[in-house]
Amino acid sequence: MLEEAEVTCPCCWETIMIDVDLSAGSQQYTEDCQVCCQPILVRLHVDDQNMQWSVTVEAENG
């Protein structure tokens, strides 16, 4: 199940929308910012028991 998440890029501080795949469960992956093209680390936490999810992002380069 795909959901849209609104996040702030940690590199350029622009608000961007990313698609997250809840059917794959909790995961961590790299995605390029649609505005500045810098790699950002996306951490998705899926709580199947409570039907909730959250996403955090940080600069991949630290």
Predicted pLDDT at 50: 82
Please provide the average confidence, as pLDDT, over all residues in the chain.
94
| Contacts with 11 (C-beta within 8 Å, 6 or more apart), sequence order | 33, 36, 38, 40, 59
Span 11-34, mean pLDDT?
A: 95
Predicted pLDDT of residue 61: 81
Residues 60 and 51: their CA atoms lie apart, in Å, by: 28
Percent of the chain with pLDDT over 90: 84
Is the overall model pTM greater than 0.75, yes or no?
A: yes
Structure tokens at 15: 């608000």
User: Would you state the structure tokens that stand for residue 27, as one six-digit string?
Assistant: 């995961």
Number of domains, the chain: 1
Domain containing residue 20: 2-59
pLDDT at position 51 is 84
